[in-house]
Amino acid sequence: MDFLEAPHTQVLAVAAALVTGVTVYNTLSTSTAKVPGPWYTKWTGLVKHYHTLHANKPKWVHSLHQQYGPVVRLSPNEVSISDPKDLKVVYNVKESFIKSQFYEAFAGPHLNEPSVFSTRNRESHRNQRRLLAGAMSESSLKLLYDDIFSLAGTAIARMSEELSTRGVIDVAKWWLFYTTDTIGTLTFGSSFEMLELGKKTQYSEDLATLGKSTGIRIVFPSLFRWAAYIPGIAQIFGEAQNALIRLDGYAMTSIKRQETAEKETLFSKIIRAKDEDKMGYSELRANARSYIVAGSDTTSTTLTYLVWSICGDLKMRDRVVEEVKGLSDEFTDADTRQLKFLNCAIKETLRLYSAVPAGMPRDVPAGGAVIGGYHLDAGVTVAAQPYTVNRNPEVFPNPDEFNPDRWLHETREMNDSIFTFGGGSRICIGLHLAEMEIRVAASKFFREFPNVSRSSKEGMTPGDMDPKLMFLMFPAGGRCLVQN
């Protein structure tokens, strides 16, 4: 009792009370404090990180939207939105809400080589996009169609070989090889030969290594500076650094080769350009890496879930097969655009199985902004995630049901409620390429395998296809087996 009554103890108690009071006041007086959400999100973002590490953050965020509405607090400084009207405010063509610090994790270990995807600087993005967008336009992609068509044919041939020897096809594996070889060919002028070899190459392993380190930096952005002192983390970042050196060497060799090569690629015009239409080597290298990552896993995941979903309903499969039967052997991209039901199925796959399901964070600009009726201070992070936006029950009845027929009566509201490729000036630059690859590959697949169905061989179960939801989505089992 004497100790408790001692003057220094009383001073400490008063100081502690003041600190606690100030902390509580500051927390409860922030602009996000008035936003609906679980009580603990006023104080910490640890729960958000927990769900990120367990590959189910998009589901957790979605459950909060179902409980609290279109605007929900995820942490003391982060809010998630889902109303299309609010999306148009945040993801606008003026880029008034710039990309958050989150994207620095994609800029490479030293943060000095941002790509068109990862850069947070408006002028840098506008300049890079100006140089890159032309080659990604629908008219320019027609020049690269033959490469896509040929590689899709190779993928189908390898699937046929696997079916004859194994009795099943792992479409997840072959679609990844197809999309990686395709983006390699279109970016560098030569493929990574994954389809030819039937296995992952050093290049793809290096990409996976970089992906692992990037994932850690997304959750723990400040961890990189302490990596050398944490054995397990040090190894991951060390391997990532070695992988980056190899990738950069490959990219630079390819870029040098394209300076004189006649073959057209996504970068050839920029590489051969002069003055203001030319891009520096560091930017070319960064965008080459970005294209490979963004153009392989995402498109292959969409193709995998497209096949799996269609094979889950044999009547649906037969409708697709009947459509593609009418194609000639040397069909064009224009021909595939006329396949009404297949294109509806592709749109439904992009809606329900967005390869990027997680939030796309932006910073509230100076002066703050009103989002969903709530004033948010400058610097607050705002994000919309495709997983939730694409499941608006008012626009898509029974939103968790795979129903391509809903797109037979497509409306503007439906298109406004799809966020798979993002929005505004930062909308995915490769969306036309991805759609072309999917149309061609799916058409060839269902022509070659008209009796395809889901397989239960080798212990394959529907649980293998449960989505693991990180920044990207992928099947929990890492495979997708079908039979014909």
The string of pLDDT tens digits covering residues 316-330 is 999 999 999 999 999
Are 210 and 236 in contact by the 8 Å Cβ rule? The answer is no
Pairing relationship of beta strands 467-469 and 362-363 according to DSSP bridges = unpaired
Q: What is the mean pLDDT of residues 76-104?
A: 92
Tokens in use for 386? Answer: 């495709």
Q: What is the mean pLDDT of residues 33-37?
A: 97
Residue stretches of the annotated binding site: 428
The span from the CA of 469 to the CA of 465, in Å, is: 12
Q: What is the pLDDT of residue 215?
A: 65
Q: What is the mean pLDDT of residues 266-286?
A: 78
Domain 35-474 has CATH 1.10.630.10: yes
Residue 344 pLDDT greater than 80, yes or no: yes
Are 247 and 209 in contact by the 8 Å Cβ rule? The answer is no
Phi then psi for residue 229, to 5 deg, are -100, 0
Are 38 and 60 in contact by the 8 Å Cβ rule? The answer is no
Q: What is the pLDDT of residue 138?
A: 92
* pLDDT band at residue 278 using 50, 70 and 90 as cut-offs: confident
Residue 131 pLDDT greater than 80, yes or no: yes
Domain ranges of the chain: 35-474
Q: Is the dihedral of CA 434, 307, 176, 439 positive or negative?
A: negative
* pLDDT band at residue 114 using 50, 70 and 90 as cut-offs: confident
Q: What is the pLDDT of residue 193?
A: 87
Residue 9 pLDDT greater than 60, yes or no: no
Are 413 and 111 in contact by the 8 Å Cβ rule? The answer is no
DSSP for residue 461:
-
* pLDDT band at residue 453 using 50, 70 and 90 as cut-offs: very high
Least confident of 95-104, 183-192, 249-258, 294-303: 249-258
Residue 4 pLDDT greater than 50, yes or no: no
* pLDDT band at residue 216 using 50, 70 and 90 as cut-offs: low
Q: What is the pLDDT of residue 231?
A: 67
Ranges 6-15, 132-141, 259-268, most confident? 132-141
Q: What is the pLDDT of residue 121?
A: 87
Distances from the Cα of 156 to the Cα of 160, 163, 443, 481, angstroms: 6, 10, 10, 14
Which of 417, 446, 344, 364 is closest to 79 using CA atoms?
364
Percent of the chain whose pLDDT exceeds 70: 87
Q: What is the mean pLDDT of residues 201-224?
A: 69
Residue stretches of the annotated binding site for heme: 428
Which residue blocks in 223-339 are alpha helix, DSSP H?
Answer: 231-258, 268-272, 281-311, 314-324, 333-337
Residue 18 pLDDT greater than 60, yes or no: no
Ranges 16-30, 286-300, 404-418, most confident? 404-418
- How far does CA 122 lie from the centroid of its chain? 21
Q: What is the pLDDT of residue 244?
A: 76
Half-sphere exposure of 345 (CA within 13 A, CB side): 28
Total-model pTM: 0.89
Q: What is the pLDDT of residue 108?
A: 58
Distances from the Cα of 93 to the Cα of 64, 425, 427, angstroms: 28, 4, 9
* pLDDT band at residue 20 using 50, 70 and 90 as cut-offs: very low
Q: What is the pLDDT of residue 226?
A: 62
pLDDT digits (tens, 9 = 90+) for 398-448: 999 999 999 999 999 999 999 999 999 999 999 999 999 999 999 999 999
Are 341 and 404 in contact by the 8 Å Cβ rule? The answer is yes
pLDDT digits (tens, 9 = 90+) for 132-190: 999 999 999 999 999 999 999 999 999 999 999 999 999 999 999 999 999 989 988 88
- Which residue did the predictor score with more confidence, 209 or 182? 182
Q: What is the pLDDT of residue 163?
A: 98
Q: What is the mean pLDDT of the chain?
A: 87
* pLDDT band at residue 387 using 50, 70 and 90 as cut-offs: very high
Q: Is 237 exposed, middle or buried (0-12, 13-18, 19+ CB in 10 A)?
A: buried
